[in-house]
Chain A
Amino acid sequence: MKKISGLRLRAGLTGLFILAVFGGLAARVAHLQLGDHSELRLTYQRRVIHREELKAARGAVRDRNGRLLALDESRKNVGVDPSFIHAHNNPQLVQAALSRFLHVEPAMIGARLQETHRQFASLEQFVEEPRAEELDAYLRAHSLRNGVVMDNINVRTYPHQNLLSHVVGFVNREDVGSAGVEQTMHRFLQSRGGIRVSEKDGRRREMASRRSLQIDPTDGADVTLTVDMYLQYGVEEALDKALEQFGAAGGWALVMDVKTGEILAMASRPDYDPNAFNRTPSENMRNRNVTGSYEPGSIFKGLIFAAALNEGLVDPEEIIDCEYGVWIHRNRPLRDYHPYARLTAEEVLHKSSNIGTAKIALRMSPDMMYGYLRDFGFGQRTGIDLPGEESGIMHAPRNWDSLTHSRMSIGHAVNVTAVQMAAAMNAIANDGVLMRPYVVREVRSPSGDLLFKRHPEEAGPPVVRPEVAREMRRMLAGVTRPGGTGRRAAIEGFEIAGKTGTAQKVLPGGGYADKLNVASFVGFLPAQNPAVTILVSIDEPQGELRTGGSVAAPVFKEIAEYAIGYYGIPPEGF
């Protein structure tokens, strides 16, 4: 009897003990599950929940042949975990290893490593991948990798620096396109980030098996331009040479495909490196082909001739009295650079006589002349896909004074942009049809799907009849023959059509500067079956010879020769 009661007692006590333990645990679990523990929940979320933004790359900008002009380059931000390194690594050896590869003073690295209260100290940002890989390999080979942090980062890079800077543009620190195509095509180029929500393990590593949410990032689309990088290089070289030779303040040039309006090259000086946009004066960022209108001067005369010819108001063979270089019209003198007595209308164009041109222009009514100039695209934007395009200034006839009619005909009292001027001249090359210029050819998604394609577009009905355009091309070809103002643009074996211009600059207080002018040449080749239109303008050339024929025509020739060689343009055209 005693044995049984002892056994029962021990069994009972053991059972009670087990019940108490498990009961206590159950009570604790119930308390944790059912009680309000928002603080515990927050602590859990901070320590365990891992929320990560997944970055994607911005789309690339390429030239018409697929060569990169702008892209997101992979770089690394290198830092250290000082507390971890001191606990699990060798700080001195790590410092020596990092000093070998990073562009940071060894003393600075040492100072960062001493900050043991910190879990992260940055050392160098935007380290190139090859250098980062070398560092990584070295650290691993010497078992020093632990505690060194290398974060992946994308950096917008312009590998060709100043080349095509005004067309490509740049993005700011917030990855927003702020100039050029980067700005106008930002909605295609921008990437869409993703997000990942999961949990971290005890070593703060993300656990892929605990991902509760993942939205994949989407890279931006690639933009292909109409520009040819190699032609662009030739244009920029020619422009730079001229600026240096003539001590000019600036210059701009563009090359356009006659039939399509595609811009094959566009250069502007002064220029800048988009990789260093934050250290660039804003003046250098201005694309002077589209922003910044100017009085075109004599390059405007070809269009006046075309209008008059189209109306049958002038015959190339008729004789025009050029008043021996001074003509008093509306009580004000109009002068020629060289005095002429009598010239044929065609010679008026070749010799660029202001008096002859004004007399021909005055045969048209103000409204008629204004209408033709509007049809040629002046006084309005061309619609080119670059930001900041100006419309120029061309007042309607109701706002003209007594001299505007004659002065506008010789390229004064009107402001135009280079792209307007080139497009207008291109219309003559293109049988009277004005083409809308553009620089973006197409946009493709990362997977290669076509998202956008630009097709050649006529800006309106033909401005002049094809036979008039053909006659103008013949006349303009005479400008580059011996005796013409543009003879320095001539190329052996080719017929070059074009027009020179020497426009005095307007002073801020009014009136014209004596020694400050814009020297221009705009033309196309081959004359009778044109392939390309080229415009060159040099701003404030210095020295004795500052005319379009002396300064801009040779640059045109150099660019034209480059285009002929690069594209294999035959003398008779394609």
Chain B
Amino acid sequence: MTAKRKIKRKTTATRSRNRKLQTQGFRMPMRSALIAVLLGAGGIFYLLLCSRTEALARQIKTEEHELEQLRRRVAGEEVRWNDMISPRNLQAALRANNLNMGLPRHDQVIHIRDMALWESGHGERTMVSRLDSNRGGMSVR
């Protein structure tokens, strides 16, 4: 009888000891926890990347639109400038401002030539090269 009572007491004591030690709920192993954290972090990172990608895409689209607008504006300005300097418009502007201007006569033009360059043969003697550069001489009007 004493042995049974002892055993009973021991079982009760063990149980109460175990209850104090026992933790409530599911106990996750460390490895699984690490994996879960990594997956979660990866998922959050992925979401952040997607969000950033979307933001960049919107920015790209905005800047593409702006670039296109600027290109069109530049082209439009070039057209307007060319229109202003067209011979017809220049003549009209002169007339509108009562300016009677024409090209100089040949006796109104003084030609200054770099003789050393000219005689060395390096000065360009074709007319069109004169139009493109001042090598070989220059004209003062």
Counting contact residues on chain A (CB < 8 A from B), the size range is 35 or more
Docked-complex contact A568 and B139, CB < 8 angstroms: yes
> Which stretch, B5-13, B17-25, B39-47, B105-113, touches the partner chain A?
B105-113
Contact digits for A252-272, partner B, Cβ 8 Å, 1 yes 0 no: 000001111010100000000
Docked-complex contact B103 and A74, CB < 8 angstroms: no
- A238 contacts the other chain (CB 8 A): no
Given contact pairs A228-B131, A257-B127, A258-B127, A565 touches B105 in the complex (Cβ within 8 A) = yes
CA distance A228 to B130 in the complex (A): 13
- A73 contacts the other chain (CB 8 A): yes
- B115 contacts the other chain (CB 8 A): no
- B14 contacts the other chain (CB 8 A): no
Interface residues of B in 71-114 (CB under 8 A from A): 71-73, 75-76, 78-79, 82-83, 85-88, 102-107, 109, 111
Which residues of the other chain, A, contact B87 by a CB distance below 8 angstroms? 163, 229-230, 233
Docked-complex contact A532 and B127, CB < 8 angstroms: yes
Which residues of the other chain, A, contact B64 by a CB distance below 8 angstroms? 208
> Which stretch, A63-71, A111-119, A304-312, touches the partner chain B?
A63-71
Minimum CB distance partner of A206 in chain B: B61
Contact digits for A140-183, partner B, Cβ 8 Å, 1 yes 0 no: 00000000000010000101100100000000000000000000
Which residues of the other chain, B, contact A230 by a CB distance below 8 angstroms? 87
Contact digits for B52-64, partner A, Cβ 8 Å, 1 yes 0 no: 0110111011001
CA distance A116 to B73 in the complex (A): 34
Docked-complex contact B125 and A207, CB < 8 angstroms: no
Which residues of the other chain, A, contact B57 by a CB distance below 8 angstroms? 207-210
Cross-chain contact of A259 among B85, B125, B136 (Cβ < 8 A): B125
Beyond A208-B58, A574-B125, 19 additional contacts (C-beta under 8 Å) are A57-B75, A64-B132, A67-B85, A68-B79, A71-B79, A72-B75, A74-B72, A129-B72, A129-B73, A159-B86, A233-B87, A259-B126, A262-B128, A561-B103, A564-B103, A564-B106, A565-B103, A565-B106, A567-B131
3 smallest A-B Cβ distances: which pairs? A565-B103, A209-B57, A208-B57
Would you give 30 A-B contacts (Cβ < 8 Å), ordered by A? A64-B131, A67-B85, A71-B79, A73-B75, A73-B76, A160-B88, A163-B86, A163-B88, A208-B57, A208-B60, A208-B64, A209-B54, A209-B56, A210-B57, A228-B131, A229-B86, A230-B87, A259-B126, A260-B128, A262-B128, A264-B128, A493-B106, A565-B102, A565-B105, A567-B130, A568-B139, A570-B111, A571-B106, A574-B126, A574-B137
Give chain A's interface residues, CB within 8 Å of chain B. 57, 64, 67-68, 71-74, 129-130, 152, 157, 159-160, 163, 206-210, 226, 228-230, 233, 257-260, 262, 264, 493-494, 531-532, 561-562, 564-571, 574
